[in-house]
Structure 1
């Protein structure tokens, strides 16, 4: 059984794949926060800006097996003249997708011609077969998935620094300013200006590429 908060067709807004047409499949649940605002202050990850509770979002629901979910996701891709030449692409995200994403679902998506991406907090090991692994570490949590295609660190975070990850086996290192607009003052980072802090760090540490949440700027999902 897979529990899906929402599934929808959009453009990837972050990281090295920004701008790419994608189906986003958001799993319900996370191992670092319950998703309830009353628990945010006690959570291991306090800055999440995503609703991953339940299965009531657009395209959400419960799916009994990998084939059923894969068919649902495939139905969201525009298999039409305008999509010719584009490889179908699905991004599994959350919450924490590796609580549910497994080899059966990855294989079911591959059988339907999709490239498979995952956006994970890195506390769980990814199953085999994923085509693009994006790890976004969270402060004061153990990092189990220490290799992948991109490491995208939200900055600044208490208890974690970019230097902790610079020697890991990733193709790309991205630094993304923390969005504090939805956070209570007690949960916000101590730095007054996360955007400027991120710019400054990338300028002085060129291993790291500056990353923005372009979907928020463009006003898309």
Structure 2
């Protein structure tokens, strides 16, 4: 198959269990919960996405016709002769394109492979780390994962709804109002709500988007 990649870059993971870890991010184009166009945002299942996942015109983006070609591009972004290789597949929704063959190709090159998914589609069992982040009223088909990261509060996706999901770690991430210009101002009230919920339900932990606070990719 041909892989459509919006962008790829090397940075620090900004949130969740691997926060602060050097990672190559491979952002696939396309999503099944929003088409990425502002005109349809209000009527989509996911209304608060702040990511551009349309097309293949981003940094190091493009179309890759083989697993080896994409794996080579990802490998080229990792520091030469450095170990602890880690790649995060994200989107959009990476499950629309991610294949076992690509994962195996990267694992053969020494990469640990992680995914950040909305959980609505099956994922390859070959993955080393699975993080799901449910959105709105969408049906989640993933019942077991390493990390459950929930944007909070969402009227149709409150933490109690996912009590049956088997997750090693559970995180709440404050909802940012995409219409606001200031990250801290828009999330302040929701951050406090996250703090209060975690204190009352200690199986949940707070995570912040440190990459945005620190202004890094």
> What's the CA shift for 1:192?
8.6
The corresponding residue for 1:107 is 104
Query: Does residue 1:165 correspond to 2:162, yes or no?
Result: yes
Q: Distance in 1 between matches of 2:147 and 2:125?
A: 17
The corresponding residue for 1:23 is 24
Q: Distance in 2 between matches of 1:41 and 1:160?
A: 16
1:24-78 per-residue CA deviation (whole Å, 9 max, x = no partner) reads 0000000000001111011100000100000000010000011110000000000
Query: Does residue 1:98 correspond to 2:77, yes or no?
Result: no
Q: Distance in 2 between matches of 1:124 and 1:25?
A: 18
The corresponding residue for 1:197 is 193
Mark the runs of 5 or more structure 2 residues left unpaired by the alignment: 181-186
Q: Secondary structure at the match of 1:143?
A: coil
Aligned length: 210
Which of 122, 128, 133 lines up with 2:119 in the alignment? 122
Correspondence 1:202-213 to 2 at 5 A:
202-213=198-209
Which of 145, 148, 153 lines up with 2:145 in the alignment? 148
Query: Does residue 1:219 correspond to 2:215, yes or no?
Result: yes
Tell me whether 166-175 or 14-23 shows the greater mean CA deviation: 166-175
Q: Distance in 1 between matches of 2:70 and 2:60?
A: 11
> What's the CA shift for 1:175?
0.5
> What's the CA shift for 1:146?
1.4
- TM-score, scaled to structure 2: 0.94
Q: Distance in 2 between matches of 1:36 and 1:208?
A: 33
- TM-score, scaled to structure 1: 0.92
Contact 2:137 2:157 in 1 (8 A): yes
> What's the CA shift for 1:79?
1.8
Mark the runs of 5 or more structure 1 residues left unpaired by the alignment: 185-190
The corresponding residue for 2:183 is none
Q: Distance in 2 between matches of 1:166 and 1:209?
A: 14
Contact 2:16 2:207 in 1 (8 A): yes
Q: Distance in 2 between matches of 1:154 and 1:175?
A: 6
Correspondence 1:47-66 to 2 at 5 A:
47-66=48-67
The corresponding residue for 1:178 is 175
The corresponding residue for 2:36 is 35
Q: Secondary structure at the match of 1:219?
A: coil
